[in-house]
Amino acid sequence: MFNHHSTRRSFLGLGVAGLAFVAVPFAHAASEATIRSIQEGLAAMGFDPGIADGKSGSNTERAIEAFQREFGYTATGQADDVLLGQINTALSAGAASPERLLRREGLLRAYTRAVQEALVDLGYDPGIVDGAVGPMTRDAIRAFQNANALAAPGEVSKPLLEALNTARGI
């Protein structure tokens, strides 16, 4: 015997399932070349995706999520062409901040202290020599950079420390 109530439930179930299917976009897997480019770009900006092997493992996913959070994107951890475009845009805009790279290497505090000590030796006032990048340290860095015809982003970097050491005769 035909039961119109069970048939109706089946159609409703199909309708709901159909809506859910339409609402969920199909995700395309990124190619190994795309993932490798993503990994190389992340590494260039100081994120640690692990070895650039073209495989999206947990290190790559964590690095992608960190990049996405830092640059204001939704943190999905997904490697795709859109992400590669975002990374390339960030790289072309100079997103590989020297301070970010030093921080990720665990060297920012040590470099900052060395920069502060060098600035003091050269007569600049970075404030307290404590290894922390504050407004006085940035102002002193900019003053040194301007006085020596260097680009003046006011950031701690390896080239800055080298320039300071050269100015000190070290």
What confidence tens digit (pLDDT) does each residue in 56-95 have? 999 999 989 988 877 778 999 999 999 999 999 988 877 7
3-state SS, residue 55: coil
The whole-number pLDDT of residue 15 equals: 42
Give me 152's structure tokens.
Answer: 């003046």
* Euclidean distance between CA atoms 126 and 122, whole angstroms: 11
- Residues 153/157/159/164 CA torsion (nearest 10 deg): 90
pLDDT at 14: 42
Taking the domains of the chain in order of start, what are their residue ranges? 32-95, 99-168
Q: Which amino acid is at 167?
A: A
What is the pLDDT, as a whole number, of residue 28? 59
**Cβ-contact 154, 138 below 8 angstroms:** yes
* Inter-residue contact 141 to 115 (CB < 8 Å): yes
Average pLDDT score over the chain:
81
Give yes or no on whether 32-95 and 99-168 have one common fold: yes
Residue 24 is encoded by which pair of tokens? 């969920």
- Say which amino acid occupies 141: I
The tokens describing 65, both together, are: 């999520």
Contact 108, 156 (CB under 8 A): yes
Spans of the chain, pLDDT less than 50: 1-26
- Residue 35 is predicted with a pLDDT of 96
Q: pLDDT at position 139, please?
A: 94
pLDDT at residue 156, as a whole number = 87
CATH code of domain 32-95: 1.10.101
Among candidate residues 67, 100, 97, 96, the one with its CA nearest the CA of residue 84: 67
Specify the fold of 99-168: Muramoyl-pentapeptide Carboxypeptidase; domain 1 (1.10.101)
Other beta carbons within 10 angstroms of residue 130's beta carbon come to 13
